[in-house]
């Protein structure tokens, strides 16, 4: 069962009412290999909030909120958020490994999620809001597993870490109104983030 607090509900409703012409269905990102660049895919609850911290990093070429890890092709936001498709809200990152390492991306990922929360993150409940690392090759898998083990050794969380590490599958770029939402709608974004208790919980977990 999924539960929203009012912040995200009003934010989504507001942008939809303001722009009814926007795309209503996601599209799979093309499987294009750019020489010298690599992909990373992370799920950590609301993809608006996961896109923002990665955009702040040097070496990031692009980020895109979307849906992955599910069964239905080209799912819509409504379908994913209702549950039942198996998808997680996620962010796909294209980065230059000569400028930033996958290990650095993992460090940013962990400090932006609650790794002890199963099938939810902060105020968003349901399987689409799980935390998960989707690896694109065996090296990413190894580094992800090592990072999770290091956190288990170094942090004294009350609950076990439940973040999954899973092979990457089809990634469907979310509807245009979700792209760069924190830039397009900064007031609604901050309102949602605060009311969701995201930063408060992250500080409690990571002390930052």
Burial class from Cβ neighbours inside 10 Å (0-12, 13-18, 19+) for residue 13 reads exposed
Give the separation between CA 62 and CA 108, rounded to whole angstroms.
16
109 CB burial (10 A radius; 0-12, 13-18, 19+) = buried
Check if 196 is active-site: no
Q: What are phi and psi of 66, to 5 degrees?
A: -175, -160
Other Cβ atoms within 10 Å of 83 Cβ, number: 16
pLDDT tens profile 128-156: 999 999 999 999 999 999 999 999 998 87
- Residue 17: what pLDDT? 37
CB crowding 142-173: b at 16 or more within 10 Å, else e: ebbeebbeebeeeeeeeeebebebbebebbbb
What's the start-to-end Cα distance of the chain, in Å? 31
Summarised one tens digit per residue, pLDDT across range 25-45 is: 556 665 556 789 999 999 999
Percent of the chain with pLDDT over 70: 84
Count of all residues that appear for the chain in the document: 208
Candidate list 46, 49, 123, 196, residue with the active-site label:
46
Q: What is the pTM of this model?
A: 0.86
């Amino acid at each position: 069962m999924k539960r929203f607090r009012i912040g995200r509900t009003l934010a989504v409703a507001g942008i939809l009412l303001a722009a009814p012409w926007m795309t209503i269905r996601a599209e799979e990102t093309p499987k294009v290999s750019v020489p010298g660049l690599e992909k990373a895919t992370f799920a950590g609850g609301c993809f608006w909030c996961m896109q923002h911290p990665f955009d702040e990093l040097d070496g990031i070429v692009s980020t895109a909120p979307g849906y992955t890890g599910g069964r239905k092709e080209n799912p819509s936001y409504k379908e994913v958020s209702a549950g039942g498709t198996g998808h997680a809200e996620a962010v796909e990152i294209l980065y230059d490994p000569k400028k930033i390492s996958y290990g650095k991306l993992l460090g940013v990922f962990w400090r932006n999620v609650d790794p002890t929360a199963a099938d939810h993150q902060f105020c968003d409940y349901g399987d689409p809001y799980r935390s998960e690392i989707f690896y694109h090759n065996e090296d990413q898998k190894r580094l992800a597993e090592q990072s999770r083990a290091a956190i288990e050794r170094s942090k004294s969380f009350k609950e076990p870490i439940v973040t999954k590490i899973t092979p990457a599958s089809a990634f469907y770029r979310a509807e245009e109104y979700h792209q760069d939402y924190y830039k397009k709608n900064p007031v609604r974004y901050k309102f949602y983030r605060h009311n969701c208790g995201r930063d408060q919980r992250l500080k409690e977990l990571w002390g930052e």
